[in-house]
Structure 1
Amino acid sequence: MNYTINQLRIFLKITQTQSVTKASEELHLTQPAVSIQLKNFQDQFEIPLTEIIGRKIFITDFGKEIAVTAENILNQIYEINYKTLAHKGLLTGRLKISVVSTGKYVMPYFLSDFLREHEGIELVMDVTNKSKVIRSLEKNEVDFSLVSVLPENLQIEKTELMQNKLYLISNTNQQFNDKIYDKSILEELPLIYREPGSGTRQTMEIFIRENKLPVKKKMELTSNEAVKQSVIAGLGCSIMPLIGIKNELQNGQLQIIPVKEFPIKSVWNLIWLKGKNHSPVALAFLDYLKNEKENIIKAKFDWFERY
């Protein structure tokens, strides 16, 4: 056997994602590089680790056993690294956070200086839709989750980070000359939705339902970036978080349609399971947020308050 740490890491990620493509994306590697490492790893075993049926990859029972061992080995390696840094008196360990997709425009700014101060901390941040974020929290797979819509059937604790605002937007080819429109304008515009399970979609649907608006659903897309590009291309309008459209507003690709009762407001909350026994790293991060949150908002999100 002559496998490498990198091969173990790649194989474990493939078993977790059930996809070479998704594994390559999460590891920030090219798909061919991941495929080559998987083949090199497989060549060291006489028993298949995976099998391809159609175009889908499946992990064999033997492969699942190897994945468990790989995870244990990698955890031991991380532990060695942490012990080395801890021996030097540094705060060490992993900080695991799951973030709803629009939260990728928020969370990094609350992490950057903290991680710079503590080089011994390894960040594991999963960016996905709200349903998967809540699932990872419920399974106690993460320290914290960032959401703008709180889960209804889960006992949690939270700390507020900052306000979230959602506006009705279109591309700039369309003309909206009125100073402000009634919310009934939503009945006339073809709307682009996020997929079920998205916090943005949930907020949008609650507003539409409470106001009894018979809207025209044009299409459904699986990411805010896809929605944004579709609006820019003129395929429809949408209700989107301000935090994710800053550049497009400033460069004239998108415009906010002024509508009564907009923006729809919510709050970005960092949440965790009630009664969770936090690690020293997680406790340090909560303490950091308590002391620095307002300074971060003032320094990084001053533009946000102008809308």
Structure 2
Amino acid sequence: MNYTLHQLQVFLKIAQHQSITKASEELHLTQPAVSIQLKKFQDQFSIPLTEVVGRQLFITEFGKEIAEAAEKIINEVYAINYKTLSYKGKLTGRLNISVVSTGKYVIPYFLSGFMDQHRGVDLVMDVTNKSRVVESLENNEVDFAMVSVLPRKLKVNTVELMENKLYFVGSSKLNLKGKASKRQLFEELPLIFREPGSATRNAMEAFLAKIRLPSQKKIELTSNEAVKQAVIAGLGCSIMPLIGIKNELKNNDLQIIPVTGLPISTTWNLIWLKSKALSPAAEAFLEYLEKEKKGIIADVFSWIDEY
């Protein structure tokens, strides 16, 4: 046996997701690179680790046992690194955070100072849609989650970070003659939605239901950046979080279109399970937020008050 730590890490991610595609995304590797590592790892065993049924990848019972062993080995390696640093008097450990996709414009600013102060802490951050964020929290896969809508079925502790406003936006090239009515905006213009499971999608659908104007033309995209680029290009309009369109407003690529009942206002929250036993690194991060949160908002996000 001559497998590497990297191969163990790759196989563990494949086993967790039962998908080479998802493993490659989380590891920031190409799919061919992940497939090559899987093959090299499999070549060292006479018993199959995976099997493909139809087009779906499955982990064999033997593969599941190897994945469990791989996780233990990887955790022991991390423990060695952390113990080395702790002997030097440094805070060590890992922060695992799951963040809804729009939160990527917010959470890095609340993390950067903390990570700079504590070089012995590793950060693992998964940016995905709300459904997956809540799932990872419920399965105790992460220390914290960042959401703008609190999950109803979970008992969580929360720290409020900052306000989240959503506006109706269109391309700056869109010429609205006079004051357009809601019916003109929402029935005549194509509307661009996020995918099901997105908190932004839920907010947009709730608003449309409230004003009782169903969209006649719908475009669905799977990321905030894709929606933003589509709106800039003139494919349609959308309800988008202000936090993600600062530069586009400044560069006059997008315009906020006034609509009665908007903006929708929610709050960015950092949440964790009440039953969660937080690590020293996680506890230290909460202490950091308590001391620095107001200053970070004032320094980085004061521009939001202009809208």
The TM-score with structure 2 as length reference comes to 0.94
1:101-143: CA deviation from partner (whole Å, max 9, x where unpaired) = 1111111111011011101111111111111111111222211
Q: Which residue of 1 aligns with 2:298?
A: 298
CA distance in 2, matches of 1:249, 1:16: 40
CA distance in 2, matches of 1:174, 1:131: 33
How does 1:1-307 map onto structure 2 within 5 Å? 1-178=1-178, 181-184=180-183, 185-307=185-307
CA distance in 1, matches of 2:7, 2:148: 37
Q: Which runs of 5+ in 2 are unaligned?
A: none
Please, which moves more after superposition, 99-108 or 216-225? 216-225
Q: For residues 275 and 7 of structure 1, do their structure 2 counterparts lie closer, same or farther at Cα, with a shift above 3 Å needed?
A: closer
The letter of the residue matching 2:90 is L
The TM-score with structure 1 as length reference comes to 0.94
The letter of the residue matching 1:171 is S
Is the Cα contact below 8 Å between 2:93 and 2:120 reproduced in 1?
yes
Q: How far apart are residue 57 of structure 1 and its match?
A: 2.5
Residue identity over aligned pairs, in percent, reads 66
1:240-267: CA deviation from partner (whole Å, max 9, x where unpaired) = 1111122222233322112223211111
Q: How far apart are residue 160 of structure 1 and its match?
A: 0.7
Q: How far apart are residue 217 of structure 1 and its match?
A: 4.3
The letter of the residue matching 1:96 is N
Q: How far apart are residue 212 of structure 1 and its match?
A: 2.2
The letter of the residue matching 2:112 is S
1:158-193: CA deviation from partner (whole Å, max 9, x where unpaired) = 111011011111122211254x65544323322111
1:192-211: CA deviation from partner (whole Å, max 9, x where unpaired) = 11122111111112222222
CA distance in 2, matches of 1:190, 1:33: 39
Q: Could you say what secondary structure the match of 1:215 adopts?
A: coil
Please, which moves more after superposition, 262-271 or 45-54? 45-54
Q: Could you say what secondary structure the match of 1:236 adopts?
A: coil
